[in-house]
Structure 1
Amino acid sequence: MTPHHLHAVAAAWSLQAALAALQAAAMEAVADALAGDTGRRDISIPSQQFGRRHALGGHGDPTADHALGAWAPTRPDPCAEALGSILRELDRLAGHLPGAPGQDPATRIRQAIPGMRPHVAARTSQALRHLDRAARRHLHMPPDLAPLPGNPPCPACRLQMLQVHTADPTRTVVCTADCHCTGDTCPCGMPVRLEGAAHIWTSDRLTREAA
């Protein structure tokens, strides 16, 4: 895959983790309301139709309609509102992609990324990162990044600012020094050198480069 594909996959996993946390916060609001604890949120719940018939990465998540239509709040819970808005946008993004009937849009998008053209993967990555930032902003949740153990230098810029995507099962690594590939002669060691692309490596590739 090109760097654009790797960035898009990492953004999809990051968003999935943020949506799970956002859903948990929204469900907490429902639990508080059912328990009669409305001191923190003024929510009334006329129905119990909060839920989804399919799962998001192993976590049950409400559809966009259910997220906003499960109750008629006088002061909407911000996490539920954000969740509904993000899910609607994901439904729109996934609308033209192949996938199993009833498959949640986040999974559909992630599974379709490897087959995308590079410029489409780049646009998808940008859209997913935008939604991920929106979800995390509501939760005051930090980005899905952690310092790379051992603090090695970037193969390209040599700065020690490499970080790993923790939600991505492949543990892709990026340079947070705004480091971009210069093309065929770039010392980055990415399998596909692509001028202008932000550097990203799979963890096994970076290990080989360091060796």
Structure 2
Amino acid sequence: MPKDFAHVPSGLPSNLLLRRPDLKAAILKVESSNYRVSEAKRGLFPSIALTGSAGTSTSDLKNLLDGDFSVFNIGANILLPVFQGGRLRANVRNSENQLTLSELDAINKILITFQEVEQSIENSISLKKQLSSIQDAVNSSKSAYNLAVNRYETGLTNLITVLDSQQRWFDARQQKNIIEYQLLNSKINLFLALGGVFNDESKEEN
């Protein structure tokens, strides 16, 4: 954990979130689905060699066209990929559906990530306010305890008053420790939500 972990610099760019493994995986899934769509669409197009070794047209190309090179020969076997009972077109639709699902999943993960970051930041702000308040309580209870001890030593109060003030001071310090622990956890959650270390240099990773 970095020494300045408690400090969250302002102006952190949202592209820091792309360091998160779950977002990386979701985006790669979209890219993979998009590639499969392209492959499925390419499968609709006849695959033939256009030129031979001597630079002449191949028999595949000649069979694809009629004698005047203007009309497709529908009976040619080379057009079989286009007429397979819609199977290849169904493959295209299925690939497009998978792409849509991948995109929706990625969008959902991105929104959840933003929510996690916002929640961690808001929790940190709230806990900092609580920590400031409890620190005042610690200082006040400590002063009350010291005063009670002085008064006890001069015979102006009894031991029970001293012990009560000591307990209140102890309770305040214990509560402060709890809030500090919660604040540390909140910082860790923000650290995880951002996908790693954040510092002033992170603002330049745009």
Q: Which has the larger radius of gyration?
A: 2
TM-score (structure 1 length as normaliser): 0.26
> Which has a greater percent of strand?
1
Flag the structure with more relative contact order, 1 or 2, with Cα contacts below 8 A and sequence separation at least 6: 2
> Which has a greater percent of helix?
2
TM-score (structure 2 length as normaliser): 0.27
